[in-house]
Amino acid sequence: ATAIQRADYSAPAWWVDSVDLCFDLDPIKTRVLNKMKLRRNTDLPVQALRLDGEELNLARVLVNGQGSTFKMDGNQLVLSNLPDECELEIFTTTCPSKNTKLMGLYVSNDSFFTQCEAEGFRRITYFLDRPDVMAMYSVTLRADKAKYPVLLSNGNLVDSGDLEGGRHFAKWVDPHKKPCYLFALVAGQLVCREQRITTRAGKDHTLQIYVRSGDLDKTEHAMNSLIHSVAWDEARFGLPLDLERFMIVATSDFNMGAMENKGLNIFNTKYVLASQATATDVDFSNIESVVGHEYFHNWTGNRITCRDWFQLSLKEGLTVFRDQEFSTDLAGTASARAVKRIEDVRVLRTNQFPEDAGPMAHPVRPDSYVEISNFYTVTIYEKGAEVVRMYQTLVGRAGFEKGITLYFERHDGNAVTCDDFAQAIADANPSSVLPSLLPQFKRWYSQAGTPRVSAQGVFDAASQTYTLTFSQHCAATPGQTEKLPFVIPVVLGLLDANGNDLPLQLEGQDEIHTGSQRLVLTEASQSFCFTGVNAEPVPSILRGLSAPVVLAFDYSDAQLLHLLAHDSDPFNRWEAGQRLAVNRATAAINDSSANPAALDAAYIDAMRAVLRHPTLDAAFKELVLTLPSEVYLAEQLTVVDPQRVHTVRQAMREQLAIELKADWETTYAATQETGAYTPDAVSSGKRALCGMALTHLCLAAVAEGNDQWPAIALQRFKNASNMTDRFNALSALVGSGHALAIPALEEFHALFKNEALVLDKWFALQVTAPDVGGNTLPNVKKLMKHSDFSLRNPNRARSVISSYCQANPAGFHRLDAAGYQFWSERVLELDAINPQVAARLARALDRWSKLAEPYRTNARQAIARVAAKSGLSKDTQEVVTRALA
């Protein structure tokens, strides 16, 4: 397959001004009549019109009402010698019920849905399927009225009525022009929760959430999240809802999380449906984020869209940043805000940092791709959001809001680039540091890889100075051997012996900062000298993770314990605890003769102090007491033996369980009662800490051969009034390997056999359970034979296969390579059904070259077996080809 190059971009040779679509919906044969008004782009030399199409049956092409000659060039329909302006009519048919790729028009639970981003519209009709072609749409849907009573598309409903033969129709007109990737239609038996709102601007709007009839009682939280999203975007960025009607529809068959189609968002049920009985606190919080994310796209993505798909992070990085800020603002207290930041950083570091160090590493604005679906990545999304966050750090919150305002003044209604965004933020802040740094700052868009910042501190008692020297380095990534220095904002503070922030004054400057100061690194190596420092301070560097980099500083244990106890920045306080754990874990992992139970009294005492702390929030305590994940630990090593990593981390967990047992008991007692269920930050934090206590108490019990706590966990499981407590109790049993896990799992299935999203949890929990004597893989295979398993449903396939291959390192990386064999078979099997799901799974072995032998050779062979298969999708082929390169 050939790669598409960013440098090859040229404007479209034709514009589509308007599209009139008429659908006769039928699962076997849907007829699509597409009437377009076309206009030649007179800025370019005359070129033929080339329309994209995929898996379509073409019946007829008319130009200005007359039959016309055309030719096919691969998947493109080519029309030459067209008048400069014309009306083109294309009549095609498709078979939605056979569409297992879930791109274009497909059937799920007897309803019709569409997914067009990035290139699904071409599976609906022939079109200029590129985001810089923006058109006005009117859409008529016709279908059997009894089977498909609800007919939805983008915009406003302008007409509807009955037709002959039990059919009916609805006509929708979207008042905004849009790229075709934002087109959507839905038809089926759906019910809707509706809410009228009046915004600050005094306008009335209708918000609707459509679901299957049994699910209406699970839509309240999504509706509240939507109402909050509308209010937040108006308050924070002055961006109001621009539609009379805003609809969300949930489907259980969906490749992604959700999709921001104009006025008609389509969501994976996972990010809509929640009740206290069926959804955990994490689910509630994810729903809030995703509802916010898709809603915020209405401005950042839809009103201003991407010129081409290389600019994907223009909308995704910015919109992730916006949804992070939304959830942070909604969280409320300073502590809850910090917890949200820690959670976001954890995602960045355990998913994006490995991606940026592996074979799929790519810049935030890539230079080439084979299949764009492979570039909906944590780099485009999460690292892209960090890049946006750095603008805010450099120009301040008010300056960033001014930048966004200018961005809309300049570009509303257009398809633009990352450069346009950067320029708007800089131009709106002429007196900030940004304009002069902008060309260098933009290396964040062009250079892949995670920069490593090494810092050293030297205290000089005679001159009462403390000098911090920073040097930055970024390792080579595929296709990029040399990297130039990045612009790196470093927010820092210096702690005195009592743990207070020192006033900060740089040598030669009058300004004195209390608390934190923001430095900006631009050179490969740079020093900063702080004056008036009368004793060696402890530096708290990169507060809040002020840049997406790895910070190397040779902290002593004493310094880290000091930061853990006192840092005024909660992020770095947590980070200090993580560093203490990482140092201990990596030492034990690297020395195979060392005792894997690597925690010493100093660490355990520090954790006890956190657990007993009178004022720290439960959510924060839970984060501090959570050991770095196996994936994160693996990234700190040069050569990875996944079994050793697991053994050490597991032994450390058991130590925490046993040595803090009395404190876990106190913690459990103090948190077990959370009152009436609400998914707010404080009570969620309490439940999380309670679950953690129960998990450790069960671990300790199994280690000590005592059944008391497993019995308590089983009772809590049975009596729980919400899914969070119930699932935490079940996880504690399963995670400890206690025999009571077996009846509990059976009871859980019986209780929730009709709740697909809960069954996904039931499957995932079992395949991520600790591997005992290689029992996980046989269990995975058994679960795949369960009558509730289906390879065709992405959520279900992911809950079993991806959870095993990507979230259970010790169960997956087997000495006998059977995990890799299983992986290669499933990748191939899924590739024939749904390439996007397959290609995601294919990435489970991205980091194969870091593995110790024999894992390394075996993993490579498994990838090679997949790559050798003929007829692979572009999606999977690109992933395995890069992995082997």
Q: Which residues bind ligand DPP (CB under 6 A)?
A: 117, 256, 258-260, 293-294, 297, 316
Considering beta carbons, is residue 212 or 315 the nearer one to ligand DPP?
A: 315
Q: Which long-range contacts (CB under 8 A, 24 or more apart) does 692-696 make?
A: 692/622, 692/625, 692/626, 692/667, 693/664, 693/665, 693/667, 693/668, 694/668, 694/728, 694/729, 694/732, 695/728, 695/731, 695/732, 695/735, 695/736, 696/653, 696/656, 696/657, 696/660, 696/661, 696/664
Considering beta carbons, is residue 187 or 312 the nearer one to ligand DPP?
A: 312
Residue 761 binds which entry of ligand DPP, Zn ion, none, CB below 5-8 Å type-dependent: none
Chain centroid, CA 98 distance in Å: 29
The closest alpha carbon to 265, from 307, 230, 239, 309, belongs to: 230
* Residue 336, φ and ψ in degrees, nearest 5: -65, -35
State in angstroms the smallest separation of the CB of 182 from Zn ion. Answer: 12
The closest alpha carbon to 29, from 117, 93, 112, 99, belongs to: 93
Residue 341 binds which entry of Zn ion, ligand DPP, none, CB below 5-8 Å type-dependent: none
Q: Which 3 state secondary structure label does DSSP give 539?
A: strand
Considering beta carbons, is residue 375 or 812 the nearer one to Zn ion?
A: 375
Residue 418 binds which entry of ligand DPP, Zn ion, none, CB below 5-8 Å type-dependent: none
* The token pair that represents 579 in the structure block: 């560093």
* Helices and strands counted in the chain (H then E): 30, 32
State in angstroms the smallest separation of the CB of 425 from ligand DPP. Answer: 21
The CA–CA distances, whole Å, from 529 to 458, 497, 851 equal: 9, 19, 42
State in angstroms the smallest separation of the CB of 636 from ligand DPP. Answer: 30
* Strands in 345-390 per DSSP E: 368-369
Considering beta carbons, is residue 294 or 371 the nearer one to ligand DPP?
A: 294
State in angstroms the smallest separation of the CB of 121 from ligand DPP. Answer: 14
State in angstroms the smallest separation of the CB of 102 from ligand DPP. Answer: 13
Partner residues linked to 94 by β-bridges: 30
Say if residue 118 is preceded by a cis peptide, omega within 30 of 0. yes
Contact predicate 763/789, CB 8 Å: yes
How many of the chain's residues bind Zn ion (CB under 5 A)? 2
Q: What residues are labeled active site?
A: 294
The closest alpha carbon to 268, from 75, 389, 113, belongs to: 113
Distance CA 55, CA 92 (A): 10
Q: To 10 degrees, the CA torsion angle through 604, 608, 609, 614?
A: 170
Residue 258 binds which entry of Zn ion, ligand DPP, none, CB below 5-8 Å type-dependent: ligand DPP
Residue whose beta carbon is closest to ligand DPP: 259
Sheet holding 517-521, edge to edge: 517-521, 488-495, 538-541
Relative to beta strand 525-531, strand 517-521 is: unpaired
State in angstroms the smallest separation of the CB of 247 from ligand DPP. Answer: 15
Sheet holding 465-473, edge to edge: 525-531, 465-473, 452-460, 550-553
Query: Looking only at residues 287 through 326 of this chain, which bind Zn ion when binding is defined by CB under 5 A?
Result: 316, 319
State in angstroms the smallest separation of the CB of 225 from ligand DPP. Answer: 15
* Residue 318, φ and ψ in degrees, nearest 5: -65, -40
Distance CA 22, CA 560 (A): 65
* The token pair that represents 724 in the structure block: 């969070």
| Interface map 705-724 toward Zn ion (x if CB under 5 A) | --------------------
State in angstroms the smallest separation of the CB of 319 from ligand DPP. Answer: 7
Considering beta carbons, is residue 50 or 303 the nearer one to ligand DPP?
A: 303
Considering beta carbons, is residue 254 or 603 the nearer one to ligand DPP?
A: 254
Considering beta carbons, is residue 19 or 320 the nearer one to Zn ion?
A: 320
Considering beta carbons, is residue 117 or 831 the nearer one to ligand DPP?
A: 117
Residue 48 binds which entry of Zn ion, ligand DPP, none, CB below 5-8 Å type-dependent: none
Distance CA 763, CA 331 (A): 31
State in angstroms the smallest separation of the CB of 256 from ligand DPP. Answer: 5
* Residue 349, φ and ψ in degrees, nearest 5: -80, -30
State in angstroms the smallest separation of the CB of 382 from ligand DPP. Answer: 11
The closest alpha carbon to 101, from 111, 88, 116, belongs to: 116
State in angstroms the smallest separation of the CB of 272 from ligand DPP. Answer: 13
Say if residue 27 is preceded by a cis peptide, omega within 30 of 0. no
Residue 272 binds which entry of ligand DPP, Zn ion, none, CB below 5-8 Å type-dependent: none
Query: Looking only at residues 26 through 45 of this chain, which bind Zn ion when binding is defined by CB under 5 A?
Result: none
Distance CA 760, CA 270 (A): 10
Residue 323 binds which entry of ligand DPP, Zn ion, none, CB below 5-8 Å type-dependent: none
State in angstroms the smallest separation of the CB of 117 from ligand DPP. Answer: 5
Considering beta carbons, is residue 215 or 294 the nearer one to ligand DPP?
A: 294
Residue 256 binds which entry of ligand DPP, Zn ion, none, CB below 5-8 Å type-dependent: ligand DPP
CA terminus-to-terminus distance, the chain = 15
Residue 117 binds which entry of ligand DPP, Zn ion, none, CB below 5-8 Å type-dependent: ligand DPP
Considering beta carbons, is residue 293 or 442 the nearer one to Zn ion?
A: 293
Residue 344 binds which entry of ligand DPP, Zn ion, none, CB below 5-8 Å type-dependent: none
Q: Which long-range contacts (CB under 8 A, 24 or more apart) does 732-736 make?
A: 732/691, 732/694, 732/695, 732/697, 732/698, 733/698, 734/765, 734/766, 734/769, 735/695, 735/698, 735/699, 735/769, 735/770, 736/695, 736/698, 736/699, 736/701, 736/702, 736/710
The closest alpha carbon to 740, from 779, 782, 774, 694, belongs to: 694
State in angstroms the smallest separation of the CB of 258 from ligand DPP. Answer: 5
Residue 659 binds which entry of Zn ion, ligand DPP, none, CB below 5-8 Å type-dependent: none
Considering beta carbons, is residue 134 or 733 the nearer one to ligand DPP?
A: 134
Residue 212 binds which entry of ligand DPP, Zn ion, none, CB below 5-8 Å type-dependent: none
Contact predicate 690/712, CB 8 Å: no
Burial of 876 (0-12, 13-18, 19+ CB in 10 A): buried
Considering beta carbons, is residue 320 or 734 the nearer one to ligand DPP?
A: 320
Residue type, 72: M
Residue 34 binds which entry of ligand DPP, Zn ion, none, CB below 5-8 Å type-dependent: none
The CA–CA distances, whole Å, from 180 to 19, 77, 793, 834 equal: 10, 17, 26, 22
Considering beta carbons, is residue 116 or 488 the nearer one to ligand DPP?
A: 116
Chain residues in the site for Zn ion (CB under 5 A) = 316, 319
